[in-house]
Amino acid sequence: MSKPNIRVGYGYDVHALAEGVDFWIGGIKVPHTHGAYGHSDADVLIHVICDALLGAANMRDIGYHFSDKDPQYKGIDSKILLKEVLEIISEKGYKVGNIDSTVCLEMPKLNPHIPAMKECLAEVMNIAEEDISIKATTTEKLGFVGKEEGVAAHATVLIYKD
C-alpha cells in the first residue's frame, strides 16, 4: 500500500522587541510602542509558516533560502518570502492543506487582530481563511515573552499533492 500524498511540517521562531519599531505580524502592522526587529521585517508568524512549509517538503529552512547576510533581504516584506516559499514547495508538487499556529506575546493583545491576519495570509497564500488557524497566548509573565523582550511563534502545517 502506498503512503497518502500528505506531509506535516513544524516551524518555530523568535524575534526581539524594540521600542519605536513597526510591529509586523501575520502580514499586518499592529499598533504598539514596540515592534519585532530582525534582518527582514521580522514577521515572526510568517517566518514560522515558511519554516513549517519548507520542513514539510523537506526543503531546509527560511535562513537557507533567504540568508540574513544577503542585503537584498534587508527589511523585506515577509509576505514576499512566503510567496517564494510556496513557489519552492510547488517544485515538488506540494500545495498547502491547512496551517495551525500559535503566537506567544505578552503585549499587545493579538486577538482583535487575528481576523485581519487571517484575511491577509489567505490572500497572500491563495487559500481559504478556514485553512489558517492563528492562536495567541501569553506566557504568564514568564521568560523573555513574559518580560516583553521578545515574541515567539510556532506553526504546524499540512501539505499535500493531488
Note the residues at the interface with Zn ion (CB under 5 A).
13, 47
Residue 2 CB, nearest distance to Zn ion (Å)?
A: 36
Considering beta carbons, is residue 42 or 96 the nearer one to Zn ion? Answer: 42
Considering beta carbons, is residue 37 or 160 the nearer one to Zn ion? Answer: 37
Residue 72 CB, nearest distance to Zn ion (Å)?
A: 16
Q: Report the Cα 20 to chain-centroid distance in Å.
A: 22
Burial class (CB in 10 A: 0-12, 13-18, 19+), 140: exposed
CA distances from 78 to 49, 66, 81, 112, 142 (A): 11, 11, 5, 21, 28
In the complex, which residue's CB is closest to Zn ion? 47
Residue 131 CB, nearest distance to Zn ion (Å)?
A: 22
Considering beta carbons, is residue 13 or 106 the nearer one to Zn ion? Answer: 13
| 43: its cell numbers | 514577521
Distant-in-sequence, close-in-space partners of 56: CB < 8 Å, separation ≥ 6: 7, 8, 9, 89, 94, 157, 158, 159
Considering beta carbons, is residue 28 or 129 the nearer one to Zn ion? Answer: 28
Residue 48 CB, nearest distance to Zn ion (Å)?
A: 8
Q: How far apart are the first and last CA of the chain?
A: 17
